[in-house]
Amino acid sequence: MILTKIIFIAVITIILSITISKINPEFKVYITVIFGLLVIFILFGEIKDNLVGFTTIFNKYDIKIENFNIIIKIVGIAYICDFISLLCKDLNYESIGKKIEMAGKVIILIYSFDVIKIFIDQILLLVNG
């Protein structure tokens, strides 16, 4: 259902972009940005519903939710940096897009240290009893 919404919006965006770019090519960029933001808002609604389900499961089995939060942050950073990088490439600012990708990778590396610490801590708890 989500995919059909996104495809429908994409088709409308393409038709609108082709039509408006004949009048003023500058508006093509604005339409592309609006489409990207609209898709992100649609997907965030679905992600929110699924995260609530995971939170319920974690609370039910008394699992630390901090571990899951860090992983969600890492995935979110990756998607946001990718979206902004592709947007920069669309606007012919590829060098800025590459710097955003690099910053995202470094931020992911920083957050992954926390995941590694938690993983080692859990292993030591299992080994030492």
Residue whose structure tokens are 């609006």: 34
Q: Detail the DSSP E strand segments found in the chain.
A: none
In percent, the amount of the chain with pLDDT more than 90 equals: 40
- For residue 8, count CB atoms less than 10 angstroms from its CB and return exposed for 0-12, middle for 13-18, buried for 19 or more: exposed
How does pLDDT run across 18-70, given as a tens digit for each residue? 998 888 888 888 888 899 899 989 998 888 888 888 888 888 887 777 778 88
